[in-house]
Structure 1
Amino acid sequence: MPYIKIEMNEGRTPEQKAALARAITDAVVEHAGAKRESVWIVFDDVARQNWAVAGELLDKPA
């Protein structure tokens, strides 16, 4: 069972997540030979204040 966890900044719409889930599932089925019904995807929406890049928070406090 492929289990795919996607961590990204919060703010995507349900429609965007659904489209992404379809595209990723299609890719895993095509390239990894998995059965469609066995592909699990979890979206972990992370608030910008909980991300840092190059030592800087993405959502810097004022």
Structure 2
Amino acid sequence: MPIIQVQVLKGRNNEQIKSLIADLTGATVRNLSVKPEQVRVLITEVTDTHWGAGGFTMNEIKKQRDELMGSTNKFQ
């Protein structure tokens, strides 16, 4: 039974998550020759204060980018 774990930044809507689960399930079925019922997909949403890159939280990166580019630019 394949188990797929995905971590994403919080903020995606239910339709995006549902689509991701369907796409990952389909790819797993095609590539591993298993039934859809055997595939498990676990999506974990992480807040931007608990996700880091380059020594900064994503929250800090967003703030820095907004200051440089203007508040209309939204980094995801």
| Structure 1 residue ranges (4+ consecutive) displaced by more than 6 angstroms after TM superposition | none
| 2: CA distance, partners of 1:41 / 1:17 | 10
Structure 1 partner of 2:50 = 50
Q: Give the TM-score normalised by structure 2.
A: 0.75
Bigger radius of gyration? 2
Query: What value does the CA root-mean-square deviation take over the aligned residues?
Result: 1.2
SS in 1 for 2:59: coil
* Structure 1: 5+ residue stretches without partners: none
* Structure 2: 5+ residue stretches without partners: 64-76
Structure 2 partner of 1:41 = 41
More helix by share: 2
Q: Which has the higher contact order (CA 8 A, sep 6+)?
A: 1
| 2: CA distance, partners of 1:48 / 1:36 | 32
Structure 2 partner of 1:27 = 27
More strand by share: 1
Q: Give the TM-score normalised by structure 1.
A: 0.91
